[in-house]
Amino acid sequence: MSEQDTHPPLALGKKQYGIIAQAIERWREGGTIDEQLAERLSNSIAVASFDWQRTAPLRIHCFHFLSCDRRRSCPGRRSLAGAA
């Protein structure tokens, strides 16, 4: 096994993955690359999974911030008059 084969696949978004996978397939079909290289290239990319649990706290914080900003009052927000 070569050093290059030990690297984890490059995680790409769905759209980017599709573009690259399509290019690899076209190169293979057109004879630009052989079957072995096409397989190695295809195995070197993957669709990145989206971690909802990591982004959930951020989404909640953003929602809280936006809803407080619209109301001009927010539970837990210190009054500017009381801060002096």
Domain-wise residue ranges, the chain: 3-71
Which band of pLDDT confidence, cut at 50, 70 and 90, is reported for residue 84?
Answer: very low
Encode pLDDT of 29-61 as tens digits: 999 999 999 999 999 999 998 766 665 565 665
Q: Side chain identity at 46, as an amino acid letter?
A: A
Which band of pLDDT confidence, cut at 50, 70 and 90, is reported for residue 72?
Answer: low
33 in Cβ contact with 24 (< 8 Å): yes
C-alpha distances out from residue 38 to 4, 26, 80, Å: 15, 10, 63
C-alpha distances out from residue 12 to 5, 15, 44, 50, Å: 18, 8, 11, 11
Between these two residues, 12 and 55, which has the higher pLDDT value? 12
Give the integer Cα–Cα distance in Å for 56 and 64. 12
This prediction's pTM: 0.55
**Percent of the chain topping pLDDT 70:** 54
